[in-house]
Structure 1
Amino acid sequence: MLEQSYFAKADELIARYGRQPSAIIPVLEDIQEAYRYIPRELLTYVADALGIKESKAYSIATFYKNFSFEPKGKYVIKVCDGTACHVRHSAPILAAMQKELGLSAQKHTTDDMLFTVETVSCLGACGLAPTLTVNDEVHPKMTPEKAVALLQELRGEAQ
């Protein structure tokens, strides 16, 4: 059961964008930004408020890869696996981060909700490959060692 503040935030966003079906994407984007995921109960609530069938809202939210129904950590790390990054060895960077954090291809978020590690097809920084982002901040020319050092730095920052 979600806290009432989640529904109040949804009401605020619906008021901002208007109570019409076309507001679904910006409302969901702002919910995703606020909570780093879209709680399913909130998706149902927003769909109802905008006069959209829940199945339609769900199909919209699952169509766009940016939307997530899984809670994400404080630090969302996206490791690029596009062509430029891949040929410059982004896979060992991902593997080092997953090993350091106890994550896998099936488990993306640490139990303490501090880190989420995902792969993306492209970050648009091919000249800086291999690249990753931490909460949309670009970290260029990464190596497995630099990635582990970055994790340790972020851990220290979080304490």
Structure 2
Amino acid sequence: MEKLNAESIRIVDEIVAKHTGRQGPVKLMLHDVQHDLGYIPFEAMEKIAIAANTSVAEVYGVVTFYAQFTIEPKGKHIINVCMGTACYVKGAQNLVNDVISMTGATVNGTSEDGLFSLDATRCLGACGLAPVVIIDGKVYGNADSSKIISEIIQSILDSEKKQPLGA
């Protein structure tokens, strides 16, 4: 198990302190850790359990129950492709295949360079816009034209190449 660096530990400690003593703090703390670190490491679960006066198993249960939480670090850019019935029927699998080809990310995994994570999600509740893709939080409906998705991913790749190392 990988140890958190000092900055990540500081962030987790601030989140725990902010929510300690509040009603229903576990989910709030988990949400903040996920937002700030991009995932929920085991060390954070331990700190949250202590602050909430509960077991690590209870916190882990919450993390694994809700699909929004992940215990694995995500890529810098997150791509969600809805695989619900309407999206699937309208070509979502082809979109997934295209994203894999363009990014090198695996389904529910991250590309080797750490730039992209690809999540095949269940229904996003936007069936009228099927197929739906979310890239870095922005929703793209009627994404049956992989040309649009391809242009967005290429734009991200181009912008990443322009950034200096370590940016």
**AA partner of residue 137 (structure 2):** D
The corresponding residue for 1:137 is 138
The corresponding residue for 2:4 is 2
1:148 offset after TM fit, Å? Answer: 2.3
Name the structure, 1 or 2, with higher relative contact order (CA <8 Å, separation 6+).
1
1:47 offset after TM fit, Å? Answer: 1.2
Q: What's the TM-score, normalizing by structure 1?
A: 0.90
1:74-132 Cα offsets, whole Å, 9 max, x none, are: 11110011122111111100011112222334x61011211001011122222221110
- 1:75–1:116 Cα contact (<8 Å) kept: yes
Q: What's the TM-score, normalizing by structure 2?
A: 0.86
RMSD: 1.7
**AA partner of residue 140 (structure 2):** H
- The runs of 5 or more residues in structure 2 that have no matched partner are 162-167
**AA partner of residue 91 (structure 1):** Q
**AA partner of residue 11 (structure 2):** K
The corresponding residue for 2:44 is 42
- 2:103–2:111 Cα contact (<8 Å) kept: yes
The corresponding residue for 1:86 is 88
Runs of 4+ with >6 A deviation: none
- The runs of 5 or more residues in structure 1 that have no matched partner are none
**AA partner of residue 10 (structure 1):** V
1:20 offset after TM fit, Å? Answer: 5.8
Map residues 3-82 of structure 1 onto 2, 5 A cutoff: 3-19=5-21, 22-82=24-84
1:9 offset after TM fit, Å? Answer: 1.6
CA distance in 2, matches of 1:7, 1:82: 37
1:41 offset after TM fit, Å? Answer: 1.5
CA distance in 2, matches of 1:52, 1:7: 20
Map residues 140-151 of structure 1 onto 2, 5 A cutoff: 140-142=141-143, 143-151=145-153
The corresponding residue for 2:105 is 103
The corresponding residue for 1:116 is 117
CA distance in 2, matches of 1:89, 1:133: 15
